Amino acid sequence: MKITQEVREYAASQKIDSVDVTVEQGLREQAERFKSEGSQLYHKV
């Protein structure tokens, strides 16, 4: 499938070796983003 190939290519370009480590890093990044945006689930548009 095309999306699977794109994910593989992205992982290769980012030198991703371990999915667990990458997921943990992504969760940390999202937590920082959440905090920097005011720790609110919903934002007024």
Residue 31 pLDDT exceeds 90: yes
Q: What is the pLDDT of residue 34?
A: 92
In a 13 Å sphere around the CA of 26, the CA atoms on its Cβ side amount to: 9
Give pLDDT, residue 20.
Answer: 72
CB contact set of 29 (below 8 Å; sequence gap of 6+): none
How many domains does the chain fold into? 1
User: What gap in Å lies between CA 19 and CA 9, rounded to an integer?
Assistant: 14
The pLDDT tens digits of the residues spanning 8-30 come to 888 788 777 676 777 888 889 99
The answer as to whether 12 is a domain residue is yes
- Quote the pLDDT of residue 30: 92
Q: Indicate whether 43 belongs to any domain.
A: no
Q: CA 34, CA 14: separation in Å to the nearest integer?
A: 23
Domain holding 30, by residue range, is 2-36
Is residue 45 one of the residues assigned to a domain? no
In terms of Cβ atoms closer than 10 Å to its own Cβ (0-12, 13-18, 19+), residue 16 is middle
Residue 7 burial (CB count, 10 A): 12
User: Is residue 6 a part of any domain in this protein?
Assistant: yes
Please indicate, yes or no, if residue 42 is contained in any of the structural domains.
no
